[in-house]
């Protein structure tokens, strides 16, 4: 018996060694993602971010911040407001058709209606301001592969409502258009390498930021603004204004439009679509503050209604966000699906506009099972280790069978 065990060990141990070497060569040693250095900026706090072991879907919300990070190749979503008007403070990333929550020991306070945009100069997503429970913020944060980091610029824009924060690819800077909470006075600021600069007085007359929307428009060599309002159910409430910011100045081009979108109140969502070489706009509110499901394109200086050509659209909504993901299309998530003044009804559906609109099936929290167990960046993924060990042992057994087959004869057969 002992000799038999020794013979087995003499075969099994080399087999295990061979299997381990083969697996290391083929798959590498399991390890976490390396965290690169942060940009050289003055900061108040940093943290190491983690990923949940199971993928879920963000809870229904409106007025969240969302931007695409080309370095992470992920869509980043932060905060928003739920149907009970409670500010949210969670962070999610979207890639390969799935949402994943990000564990954060340090992050911005819960808020909604914040400004968020990717900043190539700092290599991450910039978040500014927003509204909380009875308060406004004017802090600046950076989200990168290392997690959230609060920045400490020498000066900042004042407490701001109706925030539009957009990266201007023509000037290579982030531009913020907004209004003050009480007086509704318009402000216009520039953010470059952790420095805020007030350019309100140098940009000429500003478009009305209240309920308007702003998007980068490389084809127009500037920014596109649409919307603006004086209030619901006002014959002059829906301003339906179209403005262009280029060469350091704003220009009202509303009178040049042969078509006016049907959602003149704003509270729409829009973003630049490189495949269409223009800005795509979806949803928003009518003059009677009813939500729409219309899709428009602004290209070559004119609005075009795409609604009849892009298939079955998402349900009508407002206060959602649209962001283009290269190679995928224009992504929108959630939003308020009820008219102003009605009972809040938010979805948590994800849609993508390629040649047509399509609903993206996502693994839901109820079907995922279990809780959110975060794994820190740079640490070992235990699930991956378990799979790796199972594969190694299986390979070793296969090698043993190969080396020991056919089995040695046990003696002469009966009848001989």
Q: Is residue 178 part of a domain?
A: yes
| Mean pLDDT, rounded, of the chain | 78
CA of 356: how far to CAs of 23, 282, 307, 351, 359, in Å? 43, 13, 10, 10, 10
Domain that includes residue 243, residue range: 43-368
Instruction: Return d(Cα 266, Cα 209) in angstroms, integer.
Output: 10
Extract the runs of DSSP E, i.e. beta strands, from 169-211. 173-179, 186-192, 195-198
Reported as a pLDDT band with limits 50, 70 and 90, residue 237 is: low
How much is the pLDDT for 119? 98
Domain count, the chain: 1
pLDDT of residue 236: 57
**Residue 289 pLDDT:** 78
CATH number at residue 176: 2.120.10.80
Give the least confident one: 47-61, 67-81, 232-246, 327-341.
Answer: 47-61
> Comparing 14 with 296, which gets the higher pLDDT?
296
Tell me the per-residue pLDDT of 65-102, one tens digit each, with 9 for 90 and over.
999 999 999 999 999 999 899 999 999 999 988 999 99
Provide the pLDDT for residue 412. 45
pLDDT at residue 239 in the model = 79
Q: Is 18 a member of any domain?
A: no
| Confidence bin at 395 (pLDDT 50/70/90) | low
In a domain, 374, yes or no: no
* Beta-carbon count within 10 A of 373 CB: 13
User: If we measure between CA atoms, which residue out of 349, 334, 348, 229 comes closest to residue 289?
Assistant: 229
Tell me, what's the pLDDT at 44? 41
Higher-confidence position of 90 and 318 = 90
Asked whether residue 126 is domain-assigned, the answer is: yes
Residue at 318 is within a domain: yes
The whole-number pLDDT of residue 170 equals 96
């Amino acid at each position: 018996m002992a000799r038999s065990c020794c013979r087995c060990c003499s075969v099994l141990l080399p087999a295990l060694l061979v299997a381990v070497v083969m697996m290391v060569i083929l798959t590498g040693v399991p390890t976490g993602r390396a965290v690169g250095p942060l940009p050289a900026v003055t900061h108040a706090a940093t943290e190491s971010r983690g990923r949940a072991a199971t993928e879920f879907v963000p809870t229904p919300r409106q007025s969240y911040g969302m931007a695409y990070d080309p370095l992470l190749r992920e869509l980043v979503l932060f905060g928003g407001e739920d149907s009970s008007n409670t500010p949210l403070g969670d962070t999610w990333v979207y890639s390969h058709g799935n949402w994943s929550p990000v564990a954060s020991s340090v992050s911005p306070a819960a808020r909604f209606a914040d400004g968020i945009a990717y900043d190539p100069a700092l290599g991450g997503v910039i978040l500014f301001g927003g509204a909380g429970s009875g308060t406004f913020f004017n802090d600046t944060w950076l989200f990168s592969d290392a997690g959230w980091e609060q920045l400490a610029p020498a000066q900042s824009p004042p407490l701001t409502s109706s925030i539009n924060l957009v990266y201007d690819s023509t000037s290579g800077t982030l531009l913020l258009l907004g209004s003050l909470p009480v007086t509704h006075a318009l402000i216009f600021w520039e953010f470059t390498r952790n420095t805020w600069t007030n350019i309100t007085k140098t940009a000429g007359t500003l478009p009305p930021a209240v309920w308007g929307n702003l998007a980068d428009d490389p084809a127009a060599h500037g920014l596109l603004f649409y919307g603006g309002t004086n209030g619901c159910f006002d014959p002059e409430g829906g301003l339906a204004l179209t403005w262009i910011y280029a060469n350091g100045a704003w220009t009202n081009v509303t009178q040049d439009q042969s078509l006016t979108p049907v959602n003149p109140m704003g509270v729409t969502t829009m973003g630049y679509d490189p495949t269409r070489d223009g800005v795509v706009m979806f949803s928003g509110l009518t003059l009677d503050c009813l939500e729409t499901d219309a899709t428009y394109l602004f290209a070559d200086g004119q609005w075009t209604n795409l609604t009849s050509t892009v298939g079955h659209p998402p349900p009508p909504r407002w206060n959602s966000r649209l962001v283009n993901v290269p190679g995928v299309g224009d992504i929108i998530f959630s939003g308020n699906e009820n008219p102003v003044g009605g009972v809040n009804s938010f979805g948590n559906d994800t849609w993508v506009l390629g040649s047509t609109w399509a609903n993206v099936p996502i693994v839901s929290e109820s079907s995922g099972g279990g809780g959110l167990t975060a794994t820190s960046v740079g640490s070992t993924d235990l699930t991956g280790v378990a799979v790796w060990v199972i594969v190694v042992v299986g390979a070793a057994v296969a090698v043993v069978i190969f080396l020991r087959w056919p089995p040695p004869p046990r003696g002469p057969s009966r009848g001989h």
